[in-house]
Chains A and B, each alone.
Chain A
Amino acid sequence: MLSIVIFLPLAAAALLALPGLGARTVVRIWIAATAADLALVAALWAGYGGGTAYETRLRWIPSARAGYHVGVDGLSLPLIAMTALLFLLCAVCSLRQTHRVRGYAALFLFLQTVCLGLFSALDLLLFFVFFDLAIVGMYFVIVGWGHGDRARSALKFFLYTFLGSLALLLGFIGLYLAAEPHTFDMADLIANPPRAGAAVLLAVGIGFAVKTPVVPVHTWLPPAHTDAPAAGSAILAGVLLKMGTYGFARIAVPMLPEQWRAYAWAAIVIGVVSVLYGALVALAQENLKRLIAYTSVNHMGYVILALGAAGLDGGRAARELAVSGAVTQMVSHGLVTGALFLIAGVLWDRARNYGLGEYGGLAGRAPVLTGLTAVAAFASMGLPALSGFIAEFQIFTGVIGAGAVVAGALSLLGILITAGLLLRMIHRVFLGGPGELTGRVSDVRPYELAAIAPLLALSLVIGIAPRWLLDVIEPAARALVTLAGR
C-alpha cells in the first residue's frame, strides 16, 4: 500500500510519455494522479493505528545490509500527507501552464515519488538515494522553468546542497561502520544506536543543516526561491526543506542520542541564531520571494531549537511538547509558506515583478488575493487560530519549560520581528496608495484560488482544532524523547 503511494506518481509520469497528449490532457493526468495519491494517503491516515505501520522490507543490496525498507509513523505520516496535498495543489496551480508541460508535469511527479519515498524510507541508503534525487529533480525544475538568473541559481542550489549530501553520505557510512553488526537499516540503528563519535554527528549535522537550511549555510536558498517557478518554490520550501529537519528528527537524534545530548547546546544556539538572523534579514528585503525565503530560515530555526531542547535534561513533558511543536511546525510551514509562494506566483504571473515597492493598494483591485495573503501572513507570524501558533506555542513553552529560558526568550523576539516584517509587506503591497504595477494585477482566478485556499483552510483547521493532528504526532514525539534520553 505505502509503496503504491510512493510510486504511483512515477507511474503517472511514465504514462505522460505516451505520444499525442495535449497540454490540457497532460495537466489533467497530473492532477488525477496526485489526487489519487492524496486519497491513498488519506486512507493510510484513516487506517493508521500508531507505531510504525505499513512496513515493507525487500532485499536490495544484502552484502551491505541495505534493503528497500519503508514504513510510516507519527513523525512521517503528517509530512507525507502534507507532501501529497502540496503536490496536488501545485498541479492545480499549473493548470494554465503552457511551456513544455509534459516535462514539467513528469518532473513534478518524479519529485513527488522522491519526496514521499524519502519520508517513508527506513533505510539509510534508500533515504540517501531519495535525498540526492530530490536535488537533481529540483535543479531541472529551476533551470528549465524558472526565470531571472535561473541557470546560476540552479547551479548554486545543486552544488551547495549536493556538497551537503556528500557530508551526509560520509556520516551515513560512519553510522554503518559504527553499528554492530554493520547495517544501513534505520530501524536496527535506532534500536541499537551505534557507538559513533562526534565526527559522525558533525557530518550528518552538516548534511541536514545545509538542506534545512540554517545560518550560516543558507545562502543558496534565496536565489533558488527567487528564480524558481511558483510551484517549484512551493515544493522547495514546503517539502524539500523538511528533508533536513526531518533528517535531524529521524536520524541524528535517535541514532546518536549521546552525542545529541552532548551537543544539544549547539543545536539550540544555531536554532536561535537562525530564528533571529532569518527574521532580521527578511525585514530588510525588498523582493517578496527573498523575504519569504528568509522567513523560512527563521521558521526552520524554531524546529532546530526545539529538537535541541529535546536533548536537554529538563522536564520530560516540556521536551515532548517541544518535539511535538517541531513536527507541527514542519507541517504548518509547508502549508503556509507553500501558500505564500503560490501567492507570489500570482503576482509574477500578472506583472513579472517581485519588488515590494512596485505595488501598493492591491486590496482594491484584488480583494480575494489580499484576504488570502493576510491569512497566510498571520499564519506565518504565529497568530492563534492558525497552524503557526499551534506549532510555535508548543516550541516556545517546551523550550522554556525544558530549561532553556534565555534561548526561548530570545527566539520569542522572532515572532515579533516576523510580525513586523509581514505587516510591512502587506502594507507596502496591498494597502495604501497604488504603485507602478498595481494596474496590471487582477484578482485570483478560480484555479489559483482552488490551489491556495485549501492550504490556508487546513492551517485554520489545525489552528482551531489540532487534536486530530496532534494525536498522531504526540506519541511519536514521546517516543523520540525516550530515544534521545537513552
Chain B
Amino acid sequence: MNASLWLLPALPAGAGGLLLLLRRAGAPVAIAVATLTLALAVHAAVTRPVVNARLFFPGGLPDGTGAGLAVDGLSAVMVVTVAAAGLAVLVFAAGETRGARFHGLMLIFVAAMLVTVTAQDLVLLLMGWEVMGAMSYALIGYQWRDPARVRSGALAFLTTRTGDLGLYVAAGAAMAGGSLALRELPALAWRDLAAAGIVVAALGKSAQLPFSFWLSRAMAGPSPVSALLHSATMVAAGAYLLLRVQPLLAATGWAASVVVWAGALTALTLGAVAVAQRDLKQLLAASTCAQIGFMVAAAGVPAVAGGVAQLVAHAAVKSLLFLAAGVWLAVLGTEDLVGLGGAGRRDRLVGVAFGVGAVALAGVPPLSLWVTKDTILAAVRTPGLYAVLVVAGLIAAAYSARALAAVWRAGPGREGVREVTGWERAPLPVLALVAAGAGAVALPGVFQAWGRLVGEPRAVAPAWGELAMSGGAAVAVAAVTVVATAAARPRRVIGFLAGWLYLERAAVGLVVRPVLALAGALARFDDRVLDAAVNGVPRLGLALARVVRAPFETGLDGVVRAVAAATARLGALARRPQTGQVHRYFAQAAVVLTVLAVALVLLR
C-alpha cells in the first residue's frame, strides 16, 4: 500500500494538531501515536513505498515521478531512527508533568522530520524543514512566561531560517531547470547555485560554523526537547540533506570540499568549546555540533555509509545523554558540572546509562561511535583533513571523559527534589543498548550490506589496525582527562571557548543590531520624510489657495469693488443736485444756460 506512506507523517501531525486544539490527555495519546508511527516507519522501511504527488504544476519530472514522498534505503534508515527516537523521548516525557500542548508540538516536530527525510522534491523537503524550525521555536520557548526562553526560541528559529533561505534559492535554481526533484539536482544547469543554497541551509540547520550558537541557546527548552532536537531531528536534518544530495555536491567540484572543511573545522573547534563548558547541557550541545561535523564532512568526502551510521549511532547516544541530564536537572535542580558531583551514583540505572552514552561518545571501543567515526576516517584521502578529524575525535574523548568524571566522582550527594519516575527510566536501557551496539553495522562484512542499503555500494570498512589505533588513543586521552581535570588552563582561552567563540555576540552585533537600527531609521524616514511630503501636498495646496486669495482673488475683487464704489460715488454726486426744490432747479438752469451762452460766444 503506497498511499499509506502519507499516514507516516500525517498520523503524528494530525494527532499533534488535535492535542493542540483539545489540550487534554497529552502523554497517553502521544505515546500511542508515537508507537503507531514507529510501526508505520518499520513497515515503510520494509516495503519501501513511493507516492507521487505534485504540489505545483511543474513539480516533478515529466513522467509524474520525482515529486511526493518516497522511502529508499537512506530514508528507510532515517524514518526508523526518527520514529524510534521520538517514541523514546515521548515515553520519557510522560514521566514529567507537562501539558498536552507540549506533547502535541513534539508530535508535529517528529512529523515534520519524517516529511523531510522522505521528500522526493525540494518543496516537500522545505515544508518539513521549516515546520520543524517553527516547532523548535515553540518547544524551546515552551515555558513562555520566561522572556529569556522565548528569546532563545526566536533566536534559534531566526538563525536556522536564515540558513533556510538557501533552500528557497536552491528551489529557484532547480525551477530554472524545470524540475524540483532532488534526484535531478546534479544534472541542473544552475547546479552551483542550487548546491550553494543547500549547503547554507544544511549548515544552518546542523548548527555548523558559523551558525553554531543557536544550539547553545536551544538549551533553554525542556530536556526532552533537547534530547530530540540533538539526536534524530533538527540538527540531524542538515546532515541528512547533505548525505542525500552527495551526488550534487560531488558534481559541482567545489561544494564537496566546502562541506568537508566546514564539518571538520566544526568538529575541531566546537569540540574544544565542549571541553571548556561548565554546564553539562552546554557541553553536550557543543559536542552535538562537533559530532554532526563528522557527518557533514562525510557527505563531502564522500563516506555516505559511514555518515549515516554515525548519524544513527549519535542519535541514540545523544538522546540517551540528554535524557539522563534531564533527569538530574529535574531531580537535583542543577546541570552544573561541579554541582552534579555524585549524581551518577544516586540512581544506578541513570548513572550507568549515562556512562554508556559518554563512553560511546568518547569513541572508546567497542561502543558505537568508535566504529562509525572510523568508517568516515577510512574514506578520507587528504592527509590534512585526516589529521583534523583524528584530533577532533580525540577531543571528543576529552569532553566525554570530563562529563563522565563530573557525574561519577564522589560528590556531596545533593538532596533530590523528587524521585525518578518509571516513565523516565524506561527508555534509558533501550537507548543505552543501541548506543553501545549500533557500531555493529560498520563491522567488516556487514558494512557492505549497509552501504548497499544507504546507496553507497562501494563503501570501505575501516581496517582493524585503524580501529585499534583510534580506540587506543581515545582511551588514553580519556584517561588523561579524567586524571587531569583540575589542571589549570589560561582563562582567556577558556572564556572564548566557554562563550561559544562569541559567535552569538558577533551575530547580534553584526546583523541584528544594524538591522534594528536600519528599521528604526527607515520608520523615521517614513514618518518624517515620505509621509511629511505627502502631507505637504495639501499644505502646499492650501498655501497656494491663500496666495490665490490674497493678491489675486482679493485684487480682482478689489477692481470690481472699486468700479462699484466709483459708480456709487458718481451716483451720489449725481443725486446731490436733485433736491426737488423748484427754485434750485431754476438756479441750476440759469447757471447752465449762462455757461452755454458764454461758451457759444467764446467758441464762435
Contact = CB atoms under 8 A, between A and B. Distances in A.
Interface of A: 156, 159-160, 216, 219-220, 277, 280-281, 283-285, 314-315, 317-318, 320-321, 324, 361, 363-364, 371, 378, 383-385, 389-390, 393-394, 396-403, 405, 408-409, 412-413, 415-417, 419-420, 423-424, 427, 430-433, 466-467, 470, 474
Contacts of A281: 519, 522-523, 526
Contacts of B151: 427
Contacts of B519: 280-281, 283-284, 417
A159 B158 contact: no
8 contacts: A156-B534, A160-B534, A281-B523, A317-B175, A364-B145, A400-B172, A409-B165, A423-B158
A427 B147 CA distance: 8
Contacts of A317: 57-58, 175, 178
Contacts of A419: 157-158, 161
Interface string B142-164: 00111100110010011001100
Contacts of B531: 219
Contact of A423 (B137, B174, B535): B137
Contacts of A277: 522
A401 B176 contact: yes
Counting from the closest, the 6 A-B pairs by CB-CB distance are A400-B172, A401-B175, A284-B523, A384-B127, A283-B519, A284-B519
A280 B518 CA distance: 7
A432 B149 CA distance: 9
B154 A396 contact: no
Contacts of A320: 57-58
B145 A361 contact: yes
Given A317-B58, A383-B131, A384-B131, A427 B154 contact: yes
A318 B175 contact: yes
Given A384-B126, A385-B127, A389-B130, A400 B147 contact: no
A248 B20 CA distance: 41
Contacts of A424: 154
Contact of B175 (A283, A397, A470): A397
Contacts of A314: 176
Interface in B166-193: 168-169, 171-176, 178, 180, 193
A321 B179 CA distance: 12
B338 interface: no
Contact of B144 (A156, A285, A363, A390): A363
Contacts of A402: 176
Interface of B: 20, 55-58, 123, 126-131, 134, 137, 141, 144-147, 150-151, 154, 157-158, 161-162, 165, 168-169, 171-176, 178, 180, 193, 515-516, 518-520, 522-523, 526, 530-531, 534-535, 538
B172 to A, nearest CB: 2
Contact of B515 (A396, A405, A417, A423): A417
A283 B516 contact: yes
B134 A383 contact: yes
Contacts of B520: 284
A181 to B, nearest CB: 37
Nearest to B23: A367
Contacts of A416: 158, 161-162, 165
Give the secondary structure class of B's interface.
helix
Contacts of A284: 516, 519-520, 522-523
Contact of B171 (A324, A378, A396, A432): A396
Given A400-B169, A409-B169, A427-B151, A324 B523 contact: no
A236 B589 CA distance: 84
Contact of B176 (A159, A315, A364, A385): A315
A474 B55 contact: no
Name the residue in A277, A415, A431 with the highest tally of chain B Cβ atoms < 10 Å from its Cβ.
A431
Contacts of B526: 219, 281
B198 to A, nearest CB: 14
A393 B123 contact: yes
Name the residue in B56, B147, B523, B530 with the highest tally of chain A Cβ atoms < 10 Å from its Cβ.
B56
Contacts of A398: 172, 175
A315 B162 contact: no
Contacts of B137: 423
B157 A393 contact: no
A394 B130 CA distance: 16
Contacts of B56: 321, 324, 393-394, 470
A390 B523 CA distance: 29
A283 B158 CA distance: 14
Nearest to B53: A467
B172 A399 contact: yes
B176 A403 contact: yes
B57 A324 contact: yes
Given A220-B534, A398-B175, A401-B175, A408 B169 contact: yes
A385 B20 CA distance: 16
Contacts of A470: 56-57
Nearest to B175: A401
A138 B161 CA distance: 38
Name the residue in A281, A320, A408, A470 with the highest tally of chain B Cβ atoms < 10 Å from its Cβ.
A281
A377 to B, nearest CB: 10
Contacts of B157: 419, 423
B175 A321 contact: yes
A364 B55 CA distance: 38
Contacts of B538: 159
A431 B534 contact: no
A438 to B, nearest CB: 12
Given A384-B130, A423-B154, A400 B530 contact: no
A390 B54 CA distance: 13
Nearest to B151: A427
B168 A431 contact: no
A397 B168 contact: yes
Given A280-B519, A383-B134, A393-B126, A315 B144 contact: no
B130 to A, nearest CB: 5
Name the residue in B123, B158, B526, B535 with the highest tally of chain A Cβ atoms < 10 Å from its Cβ.
B526
Contacts of B127: 384-385, 389
Contact of B168 (A156, A220, A412): A412
Name the residue in A320, A397, A403, A408 with the highest tally of chain B Cβ atoms < 10 Å from its Cβ.
A397
Contacts of B535: 156
Contacts of A396: 168, 171-172
A216 to B, nearest CB: 6
A389 B516 CA distance: 25
Contacts of A474: 57
B522 A400 contact: no
B505 to A, nearest CB: 18
Contacts of B530: 216, 219
B548 to A, nearest CB: 19
Nearest to A317: B58
Contacts of B173: 400-401
A402 B154 CA distance: 33
Given A420-B154, A433-B145, 13 more contacts: A284-B516, A314-B176, A317-B178, A320-B57, A321-B57, A384-B126, A394-B56, A397-B175, A400-B168, A403-B176, A409-B169, A427-B154, A431-B141
Contacts of A431: 141, 144-145, 147, 150
Name the residue in A156, A219, A405 with the highest tally of chain B Cβ atoms < 10 Å from its Cβ.
A219
Contacts of A378: 134
A397 B523 contact: no
